[in-house]
C-alpha cells in the first residue's frame, strides 16, 4: 500500500484527507506537532509527532515511513493573527515548507500536494476568480502561501519535484459519519462561529459589514465541503502518481457564492433557531465577493463537488459542533 506523508494530518482538513486517502487505498502517515491539531483526529494511520520547522523531525518521518508522496497542510491559518504576529506564520508556512522541500529532495520523494489559499489573490478585480488572476495577497498569511507556492515552483524547475498547489476557498462542514470536523481555537470561520452562538447563549455573532456591493450587503464567499476538498487532494495525488502533467495551481471551490445572510438563513432553517448577531464594521481587506472559477480543477482532475450543497455543509457542521462543543471535548487532545 502506498504511504502518503500528511503534514498537519491532525488538523481539520488534514484529518478528512487522511480518511479520504485510507478509503482510496493509501496509507496516510500524519506528521504533526499538535499545536492546533488533535491526536484523537488521527484515526487512519500512524502519527509522527514532529515540527516542520525542524528538518531533523521531517528526516525521521521520511526515513522511517518512506512515503511515495507528501500532502502538506501544516501551518498557521488565522489571517488576523498573521497581521499582528507575522513571525508565527512565516516560520512554519515558509520556513517549514523549505525544510520539507529540502528533506524530500534528500530522500528522493518527488510528489507534493500543497495547501494554498484563495488569500493569494488578495482583492481580485473579477469574481469568480480564475488561476491566472493577479497574485496580490493582502496579509502575511496570504504572502506566506504565495512564497511557498513560488518556492515549490523553483524546486519543480530545478530538482524534478512534481507538485500541485491547491488554492482553497472557504472550507466548511464536517465528516458525514461524525469522525472528524472543525476544532479551531480560536475559531475565525463564519459557520462554526455562528453555530457557537446557538450553544453558548451569551455569544452574539458579529457580521463584518452589511454595506458591501452585494445583493444583501454582506460578503459573498465560496463554501466548499471539507469532504469534497479532501477528495480533491486524493484526485490530485493520483494524477501526480501516474505522471500526469498538471498546472502548478488549481482553485478548489464550487463556483457558487453565498452571502453571510444566506448562511445565517441556512443555519436557521437547519437548526430551527435564529443566529443572534450584530452588524459590526467592515474588516480590512475583505473583498465583497470571492468565489472560485472552478473550471480548471473540474477539467484537470475530473473532480466535482458532491457534498457542498449549503444545507449539507450546515447540517454536518451542526452535528459535529453540537457534540464537540456541548460536551466541552474541544480542548482535550486525548
Binding site for ligand NAD (CB under 6 A): 7-8, 10-14, 32-37, 51-53, 73-75, 77, 92, 96, 115, 117, 168, 170-171, 184
CB atoms within 10 A of CB 202: 6
Nearest distance from C-beta of residue 32 to ligand NAD, angstroms: 4
Nearest distance from C-beta of residue 318 to ligand NAD, angstroms: 18
Query: Known catalytic residues?
Result: 141
Nearest distance from C-beta of residue 20 to ligand NAD, angstroms: 13
Q: Which is nearer to ligand NAD, 32 or 293 (CB)?
A: 32
Q: Which is nearer to ligand NAD, 72 or 261 (CB)?
A: 72
CB atoms within 10 A of CB 72: 26
Q: Which is nearer to ligand NAD, 37 or 257 (CB)?
A: 37
Nearest distance from C-beta of residue 97 to ligand NAD, angstroms: 10
- Beta strands (DSSP E) in the chain are 3-7, 27-32, 46-49, 69-72, 111-117, 162-168, 170-172, 205-208, 220-221, 223-225, 249-252, 258-259, 277-280, 289-290
CB–CB of 51/91 below 8 Å? no
Nearest distance from C-beta of residue 325 to ligand NAD, angstroms: 16
CA gap 318, 123 in Å, rounded: 30
Tracing cell 512564497 back to the chain, one arrives at 147
The string of DSSP codes covering 304-322 is: --SS--HHHHHHHHHHHHH
Enter the DSSP assignment of 282.
P
Q: Which is nearer to ligand NAD, 191 or 272 (CB)?
A: 191
Q: Which three cell numbers stand for residue 38?
A: 488533535
Q: Which is nearer to ligand NAD, 145 or 289 (CB)?
A: 145
Amino acid at each position: 500500500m502506498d504511504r502518503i506523508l500528511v503534514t498537519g494530518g491532525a488538523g481539520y482538513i488534514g484529518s478528512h484527507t487522511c480518511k479520504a486517502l485510507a478509503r482510496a487505498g493509501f496509507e496516510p502517515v500524519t506528521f504533526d506537532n499538535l499545536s492546533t491539531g488533535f491526536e484523537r483526529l488521527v484515526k487512519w494511520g500512524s502519527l509522527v509527532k514532529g515540527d516542520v520547522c525542524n528538518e531533523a523531525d521531517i528526516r525521521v518521518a521520511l526515513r522511517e515511513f518512506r512515503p511515495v508522496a507528501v500532502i502538506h497542510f501544516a501551518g498557521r491559518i488565522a489571517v488576523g493573527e498573521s497581521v499582528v504576529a507575522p513571525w508565527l506564520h512565516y516560520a512554519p508556512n515558509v520556513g517549514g515548507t523549505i525544510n520539507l522541500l529540502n528533506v524530500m529532495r534528500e530522500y528522493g520523494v518527488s510528489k507534493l500536494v500543497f495547501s494554498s489559499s484563495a488569500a493569494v489573490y488578495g482583492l481580485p478585480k473579477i469574481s469568480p476568480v480564475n488561476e491566472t488572476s493577479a497574485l496580490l495577497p493582502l496579509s502575511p498569511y496570504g504572502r506566506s502561501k504565495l512564497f511557498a507556492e513560488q518556492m515549490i515552483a523553483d524546486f519543480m524547475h530545478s530538482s524534478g519535484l512534481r507538485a500541485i498547489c491547491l488554492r482553497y476557498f472557504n472550507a466548511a462542514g464536517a465528516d458525514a459519519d461524525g469522525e472528524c470536523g472543525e476544532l479551531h481555537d480560536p475559531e475565525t470561520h463564519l459557520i462554526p462561529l455562528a453555530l457557537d452562538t446557538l450553544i453558548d447563549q451569551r455569544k452574539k455573532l458579529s457580521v463584518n459589514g452589511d454595506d458591501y456591493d452585494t445583493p444583501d450587503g454582506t460578503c459573498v464567499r465560496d463554501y466548499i465541503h471539507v469532504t469534497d476538498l479532501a477528495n480533491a487532494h486524493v484526485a490530485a495525488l493520483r494524477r501526480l502518481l501516474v505522471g500526469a502533467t498538471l498546472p502548478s495551481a488549481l482553485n478548489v471551490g464550487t463556483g457558487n457564492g453565498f452571502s453571510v445572510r444566506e448562511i445565517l438563513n441556512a443555519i436557521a432553517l437547519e437548526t430551527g433557531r435564529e443566529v443572534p448577531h450584530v452588524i459590526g464594521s467592515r474588516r480590512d481587506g475583505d473583498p465583497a465577493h470571492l468565489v472560485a472559477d472552478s473550471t480548471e480543477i473540474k477539467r484537470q482532475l475530473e473532480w466535482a463537488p458532491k457534498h457542498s450543497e449549503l444545507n449539507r455543509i450546515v447540517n454536518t457542521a451542526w452535528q459535529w459542533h453540537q457534540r464537540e462543543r456541548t460536551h466541552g471535548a474541544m480542548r482535550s487532545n486525548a
